[in-house]
A and B are shown apart, each in its own frame.
Chain A
Amino acid sequence: MTTYTDILPQLLETLKPYAKKVGGLKETTDLVSELGLDSLQVMQVLLKIEDQFDISIPLNNLPNIRTVKDLGQEIETLLKG
């Protein structure tokens, strides 16, 4: 079973291209306010992550996803089904 610990390094790698403005990506990095992603970029990132992990992230859950950690935990939950 894929756990958060397995997911985190893969997620950080996927987000790396979007983190050029900040010094480094951490679990606590805020996806919007720190990475400066606009709504379109957020959607592009999510589509990429959906394909990477073969999951579908409901729009309903997005308000609860603020940080890299939140996103990782959401992926873990969805992978558990």
Chain B
Amino acid sequence: MANIPVEALSGNRAQPYPGAPDNWKRFFSFSTDHKVIGIQYIVTSFVFFLVGGLFAMIIRGELITPEANLVDRTLYNAMFTMHGSVMLFLWSFPVLVGLANYLVPLMIGARDMAFPRLNAAAFWMVPVVGILMMSSFFVPGGPSQSGWWAYPPVSLQNPTGTLINGQVLWLLAVAISGVSSIMGAVNFVSTIFKLRAPGMTFFKMPVFVWTVLAAQIIQLFGLPALTAGAVMLLLDITTGTSFFRPESGGNPVLYQHFFWFYSHPAVYVLALPVFGVFSEILPVYARKPLFGYRVVAVSSLIITGLSAIVWVHHMYASGTPGWMRMLFMFTTMSISVPTGIKIFAWTATIFGGKLRLDTPMLFALAGVVNFVFAGITGIMLGSVPVDIHVNNTYFVVGHFHYVVYGTIVFGIYAAIYHWFPKMTGRMYYEGLGKVHFWLTWIGTTLNFLPMHPVGLMGMPRRVASYDPEFAFWNVLASLGGFLLGLSTLPFILNMVSSWIQGEQASHNPWRAIGLEWLIASPPPVENFEQLPIVVSEPYGYGKDEPLVSNLAELSESPE
């Protein structure tokens, strides 16, 4: 039965069994257990979420008054650059990789990932990326100030003239993050294709696994483009080549193509697993099967395909010829078909269901609502005339924060609460969870909704001072930003205290259907005593049919 190689297992066996008194030490070791690595990813990236949030609050503190009077302008530029970079490369990407790392092998009935040591190596690059990014605060000239997209010619400027400057460190950090992501993508794709349990056909995989597969395929085809662009930019800065220097034959718009060829699909790398989380959570708390499972599953791959041909919608105002704008406007609009399928499927799933509004469900529902709003502004931005009007304004900032915070962070929170009992063997405190939800919901709305009107009025993004007529909306947004900072406190309190002394969780506290809920909480090293033999599709809520044919053999002492 064992389809994990013996060599790879020897590393696992050395790990203390979960529940051992000193088990926290394994989180600081080069563990090859996918569950340990998953939690390492989640906790590490949450620390950087707090760092990125601190940067955001400094930005919002500056913007609470129209005058630039809180921080030096170069520091302000560094703040919005590092806020974006940290939130994407050190929070959103790694936390979702962590969730996938924890859940995918359990959900497909595998004992670990295909390449456990590669998995551990990929994780340990994340702290290196973090240290490199943060160290740029201590070099002459400070961190990069060219925004998270690092467009030349701004990113080519090097006023201090030192070789090790903020921009170079930023590029190195992004390159290492890219290597880590490629290693992760190879691992996930191999695992999902090669390590599914007996009977687990593609159309018996939970949607979360489908979405992780779709997202990791994007990493495989998109990241190399970004890496190629980053290598050329790095050479332009350090050795004096001129790929992106217009004065000596280069072309700065070329960099924009490289950047967005990856960084637009990258949004789907983040959003797709969150769609998967919604698809997992809504059926559990509505007690109904996921509506249109097969279509929802396949629509993820359609998003993967379409994501590769929409990037120019970020460049409508970059001297892009008219025919190209029309073409990419069409492809961009067509993204709304597979995403719309998902929205309608989720709505139909909860329609008429017996809803249980626990914290995961609240976050999932709110995440779907926010995503609908983000989708509507997305269609507006996808159309060329609107985009030209609001280009580079706060309307864009509002739109994508509704995606990355309103949808993705909400989905991450939902997932962490939902699988917390499985990961730790303890229940979280529902009351604190609800407090966290409402603070987050109010904070998100207060912070990001005002960005839309102020953007339509014409307030440009990335400015430290602005016209006093925009002050009202900015004060609201800043208050919302501080509230979001506050909202992490009940979350941290909840997670830490529940993990230490929470109520013991049974193997399936939500009465959910899925392979991960058939074994102990937390699952033992190598998960399954005997590999499950899967006999039915996921989400069999309201149906009286077994998921596996060998339930009794899955764990040593079934509960």
Bound together:
no
Interface residues of A (CB under 8 A from B): none
Interface residues of B (CB under 8 A from A): none
